[in-house]
Structure 1
Amino acid sequence: MRKTVLIPVHKSFCDAHIAKDGSEVEATATLSLGSFAWDLCLEHDVVFGRYLTDALGVPADAPAAPMVTEQNDADSGDQTPAVEGRTPDSGGLAPTVSVSAQDDPQDGDDPAEGEQGEPVRPSVMVSGEVPRYAIDEARQAVRNCGYDVVGRADDSTVLIICGEGAERNATKLADARERDLPCMDATTPGHFKSAVRSGEFTGGDPLPEPVKIGRSGLSERERNRLVRSWARDNGYKVPEKGRIPMHVRHAYELSRQTEPVREAVAA
């Protein structure tokens, strides 16, 4: 014959949880102050212990505080502070929080250290248009040879490549002159292509003088329309769209030198 005996079990709940939201969380420690006592769960035991330690300090004869680590609850996904060696009647003394070495930026690797160790790639400025190359194609060819293409010269810039219309970019020419950069004249037939094949760009050509821009008030589209109209009237063959050949622009500028208003050489 089987006999069932019911034994009453006394269970204490955290007074802090009950006062906050009425939830019932099992208490694991008791905090006593004079004639008052509160049952606390592990979480509030740590919280109130830290608060009292900050407010009152640690007694001189108090034992060393245990270490607190953070562990994840696999069922709920919540992070619950776990206290090593804590007993329910520990009095709620604030534990010491440990910091792992990987969280300390002084002990870890410096993220900028790898970048500083990498060699700096030399850079090149490209001014004007390289004959037989589109702008993007010419710049990509320079990058394929191991150079960076920059708009303004810096400490890594080693060369300026001047194509057709390079004299219009006074800023790049001033940077090159200030830093004493060598110049490569890309308008010389085959010069740029030979450098691409060899994989190295070198310069020793004279740097063009910047052109002073006039105040004609014409937009680039209007000036191109005037150049095309003049070229057809004077027997030159020019495309309806796209870049106007350099020799046609030069001839147009020469014809304008006898007039009072002189325009700058267009790209």
Structure 2
Amino acid sequence: MRKTVLVPVHMSYCDAHIAKDGTEVEATGTLTLGSHTWDLCLEHDVVFGRYLVDVLGVPAEAEATEVAPVGAEGVERDSGGQAPAIALAADDDEPQHDHGQADDDSTEAEQVELVRPSVMVSGDVPGYSIDEAREAVRNCGYDVVGRADDSTVLIICGEGAERNATKLADARERGLPCMDATVPGRFKSAVQAGEFTGGDSLPEPVRVGRSGLSERERNRLVRSWARENGYKVPDKGRIPMHVRHGYELRHKSTPEGEAVAA
């Protein structure tokens, strides 16, 4: 014959949860401080153990038992303070510290995302004014810089780009790709695609005098003027000094643009 016997089961709930928000979470261990004992769940067991270690330190063996997270048997301490109030304060501060760290991490992530790639524009882009070309680049999500830095990803070379030796030197030093904007439709297609890429060769920089002419252009004008005035000059190589001197005397008071027109 079977006989059913009802045995009462006693459930222990975490005192920290009940004191904080009234919720009932099953306790897994106890914490005893002097004449006071608290039932704790695993979460508060670990939190309070860490708190006691941080506040009181790990005592010497002669003074007290080493502080550790409360287990099934509990950890005994001799304290005259109000342990429940201290323990609950530690429980409230722990999540706040974690949230603060998370906020710092998210702020750093946002700062990294705010760094936009930049490009350099050298020379004139056909069909665009300088301001229009730069605005088109910015609308595609890039910054326009005068000197290359760590954010620079490309150099856009238009007409006369070879005269800006500084930008070309920056691009060559950093190994930046080049987009030749003098190719018909190249710049406009990049604007429509919303992305600037390049695989063209960098133009070689040329020496530019105070007149705004490159050395090659100036030599061409000197040779042309010399032949028209009866001087004999080689097609290539060094131009005689007296020929250069005569050219400079003739055009000393004449703007370079008028000399070209003549």
Q: Shorter-chain-normalised TM-score: which range?
A: 0.3 to 0.5
Give the structure with the larger helix fraction: 2
**What is the TM-score when the length of structure 1 is the normalising length?**
0.42
